[in-house]
A and B are shown apart, each in its own frame.
Chain A
Amino acid sequence: MRARRWEALLWLGPSLALIAGVVFYPAVALVRASLGRYSITGVFQGFVGADNYARLLEQPALPAVLVNTAVWVAAVVSVTVIVSLGLAQLLNESFPGRGLVRAALIVPWAASLIMTSKLFVWIYDYYFGALNHLLTSLRLIVRPVDWLGDDATVMGAMIAVGIFVSLPFTTYVVLAGLAGIPDEVYEAARVDGASRWTTYRLVTLPLLKPALLVAVVLNVIYVFNSFPIVWTLNDRNPGFGHDTMITYMYKIAFKSALRDVGLAAALGVVNVALILVAVVVYLKTVRWEEAGA
């Protein structure tokens, strides 16, 4: 019996080591760093307790960054899910070339986020960008817009890219959900004389709930943690006016006058806590347990 237990541990060993190394150790290191003071070069100068957390609350940029983050996550995730519902429905129908369209949808997902973001920087460019060229030729706007420099448009421009790169994954999750709905329930709905819209509302959507839950929870986490899009599209803008918690954390650590690894680590811990709370609250409100039933 004892030998068997050892054997099990041997098999589990690699995954346990992986979890310890990739999840547990960084988490401990992050909390540890958040309790310390570091010089600008990165030299550890001793523990300071909760001092970094107290200083974090005093940062004048924090409220604006929190609002930016909420807008960024809510807008990207909600629009992504709604559009994905439509896209998945479309791709679930059979039409000529469906395989090709499905494959094409994966492309923004497969491309590196940095490359995609750089591409959009050029698309949005005031002088050389394709978007201004298109919109002025169509006479939708009179003069070019500085999409990434104008305070009124930069968040919207980033959100559009966020949606663009989140659609593939979400659409595929919904598509998988659709594939899992048996034909019989649609037949039954048809026999009962339900209209298309009623069928969608009362049959399809409720049965998609598990898939949607997965899509929303994973997207909230991905989008909250998304660094490359906001970093790349916002890199020309001074200050912290359009940062999310993730890029703000990076700037605190390396790119602002603060240059403070301890303070940034404290923000990192707060970020993890925030995302956990957000997910738990979401799952509570949609009642995760019932969803499976």
Chain B
Amino acid sequence: MMRLLAVVAAITALAVACQRGSGPTLTVVIADYSKDHTRPFWQALAEQYGTQGGGKVDLRIIDWNSIDQQVSTMIQNNQPPDVLNLNSFSSYARDGLLYPADEVLSPATKDDFLESFARGGQYQGKLYGLPILSSARAFFYNRELFAKAGLAAPPGTWDEFVQAARKLQALGGGAIGYALPLGPEEAQAEWSIWMWNGGGDWKAGETWAIDSESNVRTLTFLADLANRHKVTQVNPGKTNRTDGAFQLFKDGKVGMVIGFSPLARQLDAEGKVKYGVAEMPTRLAKSVTLGVEDYLMAFKKKDNREAVKKFLDLYYQPDNITRWITAEGFLPVTKSGLERMRADARLKPYLDALPNARLAPTTDPAWDRVKLDVQQNIGLAVQPGGNPKQVLDQLQRNAVAAAAR
């Protein structure tokens, strides 16, 4: 018995010793962007934080499929993380869980954010969603298939797009004109880009405008691609992005797809498909693309402000943030990062697109529901017999209801 007690005492002493260091243990929850880079970077950052006199970091890397669930569970159990990385922030700000940026960032760090991304992290005029990284979509086309179909250049207008898609599809041998992923994984991104280039938007001023005439026209256009022109892969309303559209493009079956820089990295690594990157075909005078901004949030907890601030300032040191963003193949969110990454020629098309990129209305807490609703339902509109107007009307009603909650 005595020996057991001795062991327990030793373990306790050890645990206490590990706890020592200044400040509380920080729980840091990061989404898993890639198996190769995410954990190594954050592990190293946590160690750096420790050696610079910070406390312990409880680092949790969680995959995208289950992060919403795990974070929700943490909050239900009154054990929120100290620092959280996610693709939405405004609901957390509305629930009063977050520190505003002024309290957890040094002014130099805060001023380094690119204007548009700083705006994209505001809730009621204050910055809560700290931009962690960004990406911009671009239009990818398969050069070999284009050459075979006698297409000299990527399409600029929607009419040219339909013509190109038809010629590609007509090549036969399993060739697909355009891979359209409107399945639940990421449908809101695909839809945003088409919607904007069709002249519509999510909101008109402060009110939701999902069911606008222009949007009905755009969704009907997409449904026609699938059902009338038949230039998409099978069941586009039930195709996800990663294992559907991207997979088909990587396999060389698809003429055109909307991609982003991580897809380019995979294509370069595999070396199988000769591809080009262009601006999105549009009905507007100037093509629009989607910028996506992910966030870091600092949760208000007792006595954690100084430690959180120290940790965040460490991440936003230009060396650290740029090293990670480069490794993951994403785009910068800071002015200093933009300067450093300009040197990389492969990133040029995306960096050029960044100033013109529009963001989804992430600053509106209702968006967190609207996004899920679009992901779950917009695919129904492009199935045979689907009704684009009806689907958009329903999404609009739900968005208005979500805004009123």
Contact = CB atoms under 8 A, between A and B. Distances in A.
Given A42-B71, A127-B248, A236-B244, A256 B76 contact: no
B235 A239 contact: no
Contact of A239 (B95, B248, B380): B380
B75 A42 contact: yes
Given A39-B95, A254-B72, A257-B376, A237 B369 contact: no
Interface string A111-126: 0000000000100001
B69 A149 contact: no
A43 B95 contact: yes
Contact of A126 (B182, B234, B377): B234
Contacts of B185: 235-236
Given A126-B234, A127-B253, A261-B72, A238 B369 contact: no
A43 B97 CA distance: 9
B121 interface: no
A238 B95 contact: no
B376 A40 contact: no
A183 interface: no
Size category, B interface: 35 or more
Contact of A40 (B174, B368, B378): B368
Nearest to B187: A238
A41 interface: yes
Interface string B358-369: 000000010011
Nearest to A33: B76
Secondary structure of the A contact surface, majority rule: loop
A44 interface: yes
A257 B400 CA distance: 12
Contacts of A253: 69, 72
B58 interface: no
Interface in B49-82: 68-69, 71-76
B305 interface: no
A259 interface: yes
B238 interface: yes
B178 to A, nearest CB: 15
Interface in A137-156: 146, 148-150
Contact of B73 (A42, A150, A250, A257): A42
A186 interface: no
Chain B's interface: helix, strand, loop or mixed, by majority? helix
A255 interface: yes
B244 A256 contact: no
A239 B376 contact: yes
B76 A38 contact: yes
Contacts of A238: 182-184, 187, 237-238, 375-380
A77 to B, nearest CB: 28
Contact of B235 (A150, A254, A257): A150
B184 A235 contact: yes
B171 to A, nearest CB: 16
B91 interface: yes
A237 B377 CA distance: 9
B43 interface: no
Nearest to A250: B69
A234 B253 CA distance: 24
Contacts of A38: 76
Interface string B375-403: 11111100000000000000000100010
B97 A255 contact: no
A146 B370 CA distance: 29
B184 A40 contact: no
B372 A236 contact: no
Given A237-B238, A253-B69, A254-B68, A40 B369 contact: yes
B243 to A, nearest CB: 8
Interface string B216-249: 0000000000000000011101111001100110
A39 B95 CA distance: 8
A44 B80 CA distance: 13
B112 interface: no
B92 interface: yes
A256 B398 CA distance: 11
Nearest to B71: A42
Given A149-B235, A257-B398, 18 more contacts: A39-B91, A40-B365, A40-B368, A40-B369, A41-B91, A43-B95, A146-B234, A148-B238, A149-B238, A149-B239, A236-B184, A238-B184, A238-B380, A239-B380, A254-B72, A255-B375, A257-B370, A259-B369
6 contacts: A126-B233, A235-B183, A237-B379, A238-B375, A251-B376, A254-B72
